[in-house]
Each structure stands twice: as C-alpha cells, then as structure tokens.
C-alpha cells in the first residue's frame, strides 16, 4: 500500500512537470508591466523577460533606475517613472500602457514594488510608520492592479502578486506581515473574481533572500534609529542591551538563512508570466518550503513556541 502511495505521488509530480513545460506563444506581442524595477527581483525580472522576448514596461521609482535598465536591456523595453503611493503617477502610467498595448490588451502585471522597513516591536512604532508601509505594500498593489485590470481582461492575461511566506506566518512587528497577509487576501478574492473572465491571478511567496532590503547593516541602522527616538521608559522596559542582543541574533541566525540565488524567485515570476499552465502559488526558497509553510499549519501553541524560542526578549518579561 505504501508503495502505491509513493507511486501516485511520483506520477503526480511527473505529470505536473510535463504540464508546466509549455510556454505561451507570440511573446514579442505580449506586454508585461512590472513595478519596483530599480533593484532586486523587479530589476532582474525585467532583464530576464526582455531576453525572453517579452515587451516589458518597467516601473521605476527613480530616474537612475530607468537609465540603468535602458543600458542593459533591448530597445523593446519601456520604462516609466512610478510611485505606487501616488494616484496621479499610477494613472499616468496606466494611460501610457493603454496607448502602448492598443487593442491587444496587457498580458501581465507583476506587483513587485515593496518596502521592508520600518520593522520593529510594535510598541516602538507610530501609526504613520504603519501607514507608510501599508500604502506601498498593500494599497499600492491594489491601486496598480485596478488601474490596468481592464487591459488585462481584454488580453485574458495574468496578475502576479508578490507576497511573502510571511503572508502566512507573522514573526515580526510593524506592518510588513500585515501587508503581506493583505496581499494574500486580495490575491485570493481577485483570483475568484477574475476566473470567469479568463484572467489568471497568481501569487509569489518567497522565503528569505539576500537583497538590499534584507541587508543586516540596513536593518541595524533602521532599528538603531527607532531606538534612539524611544521614550526612556520604553528603553528601560527592553533593557539597555536590547539593541546589541538583537544585532547579535541577526548576524548569527538571520544571515545564515538568506539565500543569495535571486533567480529562484525570478524563475517563479517568469513561469507565472510565461507558462501556459502556471501555478496558483509559488514558494521559492527551501526555508519557505521546508520550514515556514509547514510551520504555518501548526497549532498556535507550537507556532508561538517556535517563534518565541529565538526571539530577543525585553528585560521586563513574564515568559
């Protein structure tokens, strides 16, 4: 009986592998709109899809990002200045894209733009710091999607939302996990909403990868800035050595978990855009597949015990 089960599992994965090999035709006629292309995953995906023959429209926050991309891509590339928190910027980009794609519509939008800071204990933060990240990571995803959704419906194309494995499990304070849970919810509701129109809505849930936003020095700098402006009462609660203990944990454990192969994520993005039969969800990174996703299905008391085991506790603690 056990061998039959193993055989069925093997057959399923072989079938899925063959089914997912097919790629959509006429790539040179398909436009793909990507946000957050200055650096990181968006930058790499732009270059990758450009080499695959797609007509990429890259949304960059800075003029420098646009210039650098144009130097490294073909003349098929179109760059746009895009601030996903600015409705005027979003609408202007959508109007440009509508002119570019014409009656064919937009094949895909990849909502990649996002920020990771400020991330800290919740009682260190003010509501404006929550709003800042929510506006970029969640409201920006919704706003960009809605701005081009009619064009995607026309092409029977795809919406690819970049969430995180931390849209399944919340381990840090601040708005990061909140926004990624929100992206997951938006993704699921939109997927069901768009199914009758032939539009596929797909989600990328990466684990820990080594990018600019995960650089430990940047994280430490942000944490120190937040610590410096805390009331003395809160500093006393956490202990004068809290920052030092946190930095030590980041260097000892966090950096070891980071995967430097960003193409694992980019390959999933490319598959979501280009495959005839894309997956509903992608979880690039072994930490996501082997640790974080299984942990997210555990009972709460187990989940809390695992997360708190490696947490840096404040001086005043009842644990």
Q: Which of 33, 61, 176, 242 is catalytic?
A: 176
Note the pLDDT of residue 164.
96
- Known active-site residue 4: no
Instruction: Report the length, in residues, of the chain.
Output: 319
Residues of the chain predicted below pLDDT 50: none
Which residues does 61 contact at the CB level (< 8 Å), separation at least 6? 36, 38, 81, 82, 83, 113
pLDDT tens digits for 232-290?
999 999 998 888 888 877 777 666 778 889 999 999 999 999 999 999 999 999 999 99
DSSP 235-276: HHHH-TTHHHHHHHHIIIIIHHH-B--THHHHHHHHHHHHBS
Q: What angle do CA 170, 175, 176 make, to 5 degrees?
A: 60
Q: Do residues 132 and 79 lie in contact, with contact meaning Cβ atoms separated by under 8 Å?
A: no
Q: Do residues 112 and 92 lie in contact, with contact meaning Cβ atoms separated by under 8 Å?
A: no
User: What does the alpha-carbon distance between residue 87 and residue 174 come to, in Å, rounded to a whole number?
Assistant: 24
Note the pLDDT of residue 316.
65
pLDDT tens digits for 285-317?
999 999 999 999 999 999 999 988 877 878 765
Note the pLDDT of residue 273.
98
Report which secondary-structure segment, H or E, holds 298. Answer: none
Domains of the chain by start residue, with CATH:
23-209+260-307 (3.40.50.720), 210-258 (no CATH)
Note the pLDDT of residue 244.
85
DSSP 4-33: HHHHHHHHHHHHHHHHTT-B-S-GGG-EEE
The runs of H, that is alpha helices, within 73-194 are 87-101, 127-134, 140-155, 176-194
pTM confidence score = 0.92
User: What does the alpha-carbon distance between residue 242 and residue 151 come to, in Å, rounded to a whole number?
Assistant: 50
């Amino acid at each position: 009986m056990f061998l039959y089960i193993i055989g069925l599992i093997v057959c399923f994965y072989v079938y899925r592998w063959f089914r997912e090999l097919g790629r959509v035709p006429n790539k040179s006629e398909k436009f793909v709109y990507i946000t957050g292309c200055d650096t990181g995953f968006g930058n790499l995906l732009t270059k990758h899809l450009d080499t695959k023959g797609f007509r990429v429209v890259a949304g960059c926050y800075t003029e420098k990002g646009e210039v650098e991309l144009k130097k490294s891509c073909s003349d098929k590339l179109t760059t746009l200045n895009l601030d996903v928190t600015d409705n005027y910027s979003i609408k202007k980009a959508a109007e440009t894209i509508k002119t570019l794609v014409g009656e064919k519509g937009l094949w895909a939008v990849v909502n990649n733009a996002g920020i990771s800071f400020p991330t800290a204990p919740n009682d260190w933060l003010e509501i404006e710091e929550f709003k800042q990240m929510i506006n970029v990571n969640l409201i920006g995803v919704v706003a960009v999607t809605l701005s081009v959704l009619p064009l995607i419906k026309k092409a029977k194309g795809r919406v690819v939302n970049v969430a995180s494995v931390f849209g399944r499990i919340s381990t840090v304070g601040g708005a990061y996990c909140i926004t990624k849970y929100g992206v997951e919810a938006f993704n699921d509701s939109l997927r069901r909403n768009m199914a009758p129109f032939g539009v596929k809505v797909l989600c990328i849930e990466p684990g820990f990868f080594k990018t600019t936003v995960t650089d430990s020095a940047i994280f430490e700098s942000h944490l120190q800035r937040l610590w410096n402006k805390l009331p003395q009462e809160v500093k006393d609660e956490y202990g004068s050595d809290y920052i030092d203990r946190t930095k030590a944990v980041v260097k000892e454990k966090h950096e070891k978990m980071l995967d430097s192969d960003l193409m694992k994520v980019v390959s999933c993005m490319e598959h979501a855009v280009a495959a005839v039969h894309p997956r509903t969800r992608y979880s690039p990174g072994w930490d996501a597949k082997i640790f974080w996703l299984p942990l997210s299905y555990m009972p709460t008391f187990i989940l809390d015990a695992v997360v708190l085991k490696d947490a840096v506790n404040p001086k005043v603690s009842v644990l």
